[in-house]
Structure 1
Amino acid sequence: MAEARCCFKLIGAIVVVLLLNMNSPCIGCSERDRQALLALKQGLVGDDGDRLLSWGTEAQNRNCCQWEGVYCSSNQTDHVVKLDLEDQSLRGKISPELVKLQHLEYLNLRFNNLSQSQIPDFIGSLSNLRHLDLSSANFGG
Structure 2
Amino acid sequence: MTDKISVNCQAKLSEAITCLTTMYREKKFVVVSLRPGKDRTLDQNALWFAMYKRVAEMTQIGDAADARRYCKLHFGVQILLNEDGGFQVEWYRVMRHLPYETKLAMMGACKLFGPDGFPVTSLFNRAQGVAYTDRIAGYFTSQGVVFTDLLSKEAA
Tell me the TM-score normalised to structure 2 length.
0.29
| Higher Rg of the two aligned structures | 1
Q: Which has the higher helix share?
A: 2
Q: Which has the higher strand share?
A: 1
